[in-house]
Structure 1
Amino acid sequence: MPEGPSILLMKEVLQPFAGARITNARGNAKIDMGVLKGKKLIEIKTFGKQTFLVLDTVSVRIHLLMFGSYSVNEQTKPDKSLRLALFFKTGAMYFYTCAIRLVENAFLETIDWKADVLGSDWDAGHARKKLKQLPDMMVCDALLEQDVFSGVGNIIKNEVLFRIGVQPESLVGSLPSTKLNAVITEARNYSFEFLEWKRAFVLKQHWLVHTKRICPKCGAQLVKKYTGKTKRRSFYCTTDQRLYN
């Protein structure tokens, strides 16, 4: 599943279409394509793993889910995978195997923009208050809570927890204040580093534990385990990461 930094990079690729009008729309998404034709793309907004194409009267919400993708100016996948294609005088954007729906522009006003780890409105104190309300949740699940850390995915989760020396099955309520603060700080810091590494096509070169077998600090065998309620893959070192429970 694409994480927040990848979605921000998609926004950069789509940005040249901002201000242009849609000349046609097609695809197998269950929306009224006719509503889109002739509408102006006012701006492109991202919130974590979600993208909003803000038009003059309505917005298109795009979520790439687990296997979604996109292309610009050329359709690269068959029609059966094409959820939405938007055409402009200068080119086109295509979205595949993803969730598409139309939302009223007023919906954007209900979004908690303070939760976006890559957003300009990010508020660390806001995240801390939310985490304080989840004392019995494992930290591996808390980092994937999009209401708290919008944009954080499994890669960021694993790398952040290794950086701060915390095992994924630690309970939020058992973390010392310094570690709780570290979770919040590093979730944002690593997301920006992820963004730059992804832009430079060197992201995997910087992974310390995600999909790895050996701890880069002590040389011990890493644990690979499906943890928490989400049952997502966790990679961690029982020597260099402490369990707080």
Structure 2
Amino acid sequence: MPEGPSIILMKENLQQFAGQKVTEASGNAKFEKEPFVGQTLLEIRTFGKQTYLVFEKAAIRIHLLMFGSYSIDEQTKPDKSLRLALVFSTHGMYFYTCSVKPVDLEYLSAIDWEADVMSDLWSPEKAEKKLKSNPEMMVCDALMDQDIFSGVGNIIKNEVLFRTGIQPESITGHLPAKKRKELIKEARNYSYDFLDWKRDFTLKKHWLVHTKKTCPICGQKLIKKQTGKGKRRSFYCEKDQKRY
């Protein structure tokens, strides 16, 4: 599943369509697309792993899920995979194998934009308050909770926990205040490092533990284990990551 930084890159690639009017709309997503024909794409907003195409009368929410993708200018996958195609005066955007849903403009005002780790509105204070209100949650689950750290995915989770020296099955309520603040800070820091490396096509070269076998600090074999309620893959070092 694409994580927040990859969605930021998608937004940047789609930005060329802002201010343009839709001339055609199609795809097998189950909603009426005709009302969007003739509407102008006012802006593109992102919230974690979600993208919102904001029009004059409504918005369209795009979530790429596990295997979603998109293309610009031409349809690159078969019709059965095409959830939405929006054609403008000279170019088009195409979304495949993803969740596409129209939402009212009022829906946007209800989103907690301060929970997005890559947003200018990001509030570390609010994230800390949410962590404190969930003292029994495993840290691996907390980092993946989109209401707390919107945009964080499994790669960011594993790398942030290694950077901060926290074992993924640690309990949030057991973290010392200093370590809790460090976790929150690194969730944002690593997301921006991820974005820079993704732009340079060097992301995987910078992974320290994700999908790796040995610890880059001590050389000990890393633990690979499904952790938390979500049973997502965690890679961690028993020596260099403390369980709180």
In structure 1, the gaps of 5 or more residues are: none
Structure 1 counterpart SS, 2:144 = coil
Counterparts of residues 79-228 of structure 1 (less than 5 Å): 79-228=79-228
CA distance in 1, matches of 2:16, 2:165: 42
TM-score (norm 1): 0.99
AA paired with 1:128? Answer: E
CA distance in 2, matches of 1:42, 1:90: 17
CA distance in 1, matches of 2:103, 2:158: 33
CA distance in 2, matches of 1:75, 1:201: 24
Deviation at 1:36, TM superposition (A): 1.1
CA distance in 1, matches of 2:105, 2:33: 17
Structure 2 counterpart SS, 1:190 = helix
CA distance in 2, matches of 1:50, 1:60: 10
CA distance in 1, matches of 2:15, 2:36: 18
Counterpart in 1 of 2:54?
54
Structure 2 counterpart SS, 1:143 = helix
In structure 2, the gaps of 5 or more residues are: none
CA distance in 2, matches of 1:133, 1:43: 34
CA distance in 2, matches of 1:167, 1:77: 41
Q: Deviations over 1:69-122 (max 9, x none)?
A: 000001111000000000001200000000000000111000001000000100
Q: Deviations over 1:11-70 (max 9, x none)?
A: 000000000000000000001011111110000000000000000000000000010000
AA paired with 1:17? Answer: F
How many residues align? The count is 244
CA distance in 1, matches of 2:191, 2:231: 22
RMSD: 0.4
CA distance in 2, matches of 1:171, 1:19: 47
